[in-house]
Amino acid sequence: MTIYEELKKDHQTVLALLDQLIASEKAGPEPWGRLVQQIRDELVPHARAEEAILYNALRDADESKDVVLHAYREHAQAETVLRGLQISDALDLTWVGAAKQLREDLAHHIAEEEGKVFTAAKRAFSDEEATAMGAAFVQMKPRVRGENFAETTAEMIANMLPTRLRESVRKFVADAGTPRRSA
Ligand SMILES: [Fe+2]
Ligand SMILES: [Fe+2]
């Protein structure tokens, strides 16, 4: 499948999960917490892999940088609302206002992505490249799913940097995460 097909499939999955979350409000904290976790496990790996594989390839191809930077900001905004949902879960609360906000933000983001971003990508990449990117996207997501909040946030920041700085920041973060040897 091409990157476009993979992304569209995930978009539908996450919107459907958000609909379930909003509908689960009255069922109490159990389905709420399970659904918040499922949304996190869909949304964050999707966003990190999308940034690494599609957004950064577009920036490197010098294509639609403004559109891509706008999309990055929307990822950061969506993950802030997602954090609120995770906190509601930790407190055994249901917070349907945040769920509705996230659904609205993502519906807007997805419409722009499948519109402006896909149009730019189809200009920049061949069908063959789009299929290779689809495969890379599928491979990358499970790795992100296992990462914690600090790791996925550091990766978002690294993704947003210009290419020439990205690898040195990743290395810095990786080194900072290594336990220091005792002197
Ligand atoms: Fe997306
Ligand atoms: Fe996105």
Q: Is there a domain that residue 112 lies in?
A: yes
How far does residue 50's CA lie from ligand 2's centre (Å)? Answer: 7
Residues 93-111 pLDDT 10s:
888 999 999 999 999 999 9
How far does residue 12's CA lie from ligand 1's centre (Å)? Answer: 10
Predicted structure pTM score: 0.89
Helices of type H across 26-126: 29-50, 56-60, 65-90, 96-112, 118-124
- pLDDT for 155 beyond 50: yes
Q: Is there a domain that residue 98 lies in?
A: yes
How far does residue 47's CA lie from ligand 1's centre (Å)? Answer: 6
Q: Is there a domain that residue 163 lies in?
A: no
Tokens of 73: 């900001």
Confirm if 31 and 89 have CB atoms less than 8 A apart.
Answer: no
Counting the structural domains of the chain, the total is 1
Range of the domain at 78: 3-146
Q: Is there a domain that residue 81 lies in?
A: yes
Q: Is there a domain that residue 116 lies in?
A: yes
For residue 77, give the ligand nearest its CA. 2
Measure the CA angle with vertex 69, ends 68 and 72; round to 5°: 90
Residues 163-172 pLDDT 10s:
888 888 778 7
Q: State how far the alpha carbon of 176 is from the alpha carbons of 111, 120, 148, 154, in Å.
A: 38, 36, 15, 11
How far does residue 132's CA lie from ligand 1's centre (Å)? Answer: 17
Q: Is there a domain that residue 174 lies in?
A: no
